[in-house]
Chain A
Amino acid sequence: MTVIVAKELSTALAALREHADARLIQGGTDLMVEINFNHVKPTTMVSLRDVQSLRTIRQDSPGIMSIGSGVPYSVLEGEPVLSAIPALAQASRTVGSPQIRATGSLGGNLGTCSPAGDTLPVMFALDAMIHLSTLDSQRVVSIHDFMTGVKRNVRQHDEIITAIDFPIVQGWQGYSKVGVRNAMVISVASACLVADHKHADVRLALGSVGPTIIRCREAEAWLKSSQDLTAGQSISLDIAHEFGRRAADESSPIDDHRSTAQYRRHAISVLASRMLRKAYQ
């Protein structure tokens, strides 16, 4: 096995071109578990740990915060993300433990693309854009096109996820997650709700209840047609419950060792209706 510790993005990109078998490693919190247990035996590893250009948070244009794929969750929990994209800060704080958050990153969540990835529902609710680079090209892909299935995405072998653009939205937003304890938990069901006062709509994305993150387009459209969603409104219990019921209908959970489909559906309806009420308190 060969390990290439890149300091520049171009070094890492060149290594991917050169080695068709190369695996990328950033924090290592997913991949090292597989290596420790001999589930995978990579022959070439390209480490992004020391590529500083992937660790920046930029706000070049007013309505967009661009977050480097290697910024650790421990940074995303605090400012400037906490004020600009509170749901992302909340989701980041629920990842693993402080030790995991010190090295885990959005690039890893996207690279692994588990339906239980905590920050993915936030990206889906905010219509985040994913920047990918090769040695000689760059492209930007909507998160909705990026994730294609359980641990599947459209990243090509010679591409590196460099940054994620998040629109900054005026209105309440939050991330909620159900699991067996507060720390160190893979979500049984999770949801991100974003109230966008400017467009007078509410967006909802669900995690751990389908092969990809699920954006509840029908529940969103129903809510917009039955309720004024500008700032200062309040949401009746009936509307909130119906919204939760419709969100649960759009989920597509399974029974597994972590929970049952029935419980997951129930959890989604509760999370969705609670967050909706909170958003318009």
Chain B
Amino acid sequence: MSTNEFYSLRVNGRTHQVQDSWIGESLLYVLRERLGLPGTKGACEQGECGSCTVLMDDAAVCSCLVMAATAIHSEIVTVEGITTETTLTDVQQNFVNEGAVQCGFCTPGLIVAVHHLLEKNPNPTELEVKEAISGNICRCTGYGRVFAAVEATIRSRNSEK
């Protein structure tokens, strides 16, 4: 593929054509600026902050560090595709309930990371939760509210069983 050549990406279960882009663009940039999916946030663009976390072939990755054109064989899920419902997911609702959202910039990345964690490990220990979101930086909440939202989700999922 060369500069300006079209390529397609599988995002949130749909095939999207990427057009008029520079081929070295990051997946983050392509999602936001080419595909109209601004839920994924960009802050550091060097893999430090985790705001741009998406799922790629079922792994949580920093989309700023993925060259979009190399992801043509991958399935990508963004925060917009984390549910097919029009309502909030339980994780999102618990973030609201527990006050885990303040400025909100880190929230989409955290939501993706937490969904991914609970999918792989429905009953994580406190340390496992901390490690799972250690790549997501939040400068407002001090993480206490975030941990509370994760715990609330685990509790409610377990009580529904």
Contacts and interface: CB of A to CB of B under 8 A. Distances in A.
A100 B26 CA distance: 15
A2 interface: yes
Interface string B52-71: 01001001111011110111
B67 A35 contact: yes
Contact of A98 (B60, B64, B73): B60
B45 A97 contact: no
B3 interface: yes
Given A1-B22, A98-B132, A100-B135, A33 B59 contact: no
Contacts of B45: 33, 36-37
Contacts of B24: 1, 3, 35, 41-42, 45
Given A5-B69, A27-B65, A97 B2 contact: no
B47 interface: yes
A99 B50 contact: yes
B14 to A, nearest CB: 20
Given A28-B70, A50-B73, A2 B3 contact: yes
Contacts of B70: 3, 5, 25, 28, 45, 47, 49-50
Contacts of B50: 97, 99
Interface string B64-107: 11110111111000000000000000000000000000000000
B48 interface: yes
Contacts of B135: 96-100, 183-184
A96 B137 CA distance: 13
B72 to A, nearest CB: 6
B53 A33 contact: no
Interface in A83-130: 96-100, 102-103
Interface in A2-31: 2-5, 7, 25, 27-29
B15 interface: no
A56 to B, nearest CB: 17
Contacts of B74: 49
A184 B48 contact: yes
Most chain B beta-carbon neighbours within 10 Å: one of A7, A28, A42 = A28
B47 A100 contact: yes
B46 interface: yes
B23 interface: yes
Interface residues of B, number: 35
B131 interface: yes
Interface string A180-192: 0011100000000
B84 to A, nearest CB: 24
B67 to A, nearest CB: 6
B47 A98 contact: no
Contacts of A2: 1-3, 23
Contact of B73 (A5, A96, A183): A5
Contacts of A96: 47, 135
B37 to A, nearest CB: 18
B150 interface: no
B1 A32 contact: no
Given A25-B70, A184-B48, A184-B134, A102 B60 contact: yes
B53 A47 contact: no
Contacts of A72: 59
B113 interface: yes
Interface in B106-161: 113, 131-132, 134-137
A74 interface: yes
Contacts of A28: 65-67, 70
26 contacts: A3-B2, A3-B67, A3-B69, A5-B70, A5-B72, A25-B70, A27-B65, A28-B70, A33-B46, A33-B47, A35-B26, A36-B46, A42-B24, A45-B24, A47-B67, A72-B59, A98-B113, A98-B134, A99-B60, A99-B65, A102-B60, A103-B56, A103-B59, A182-B134, A183-B134, A184-B135
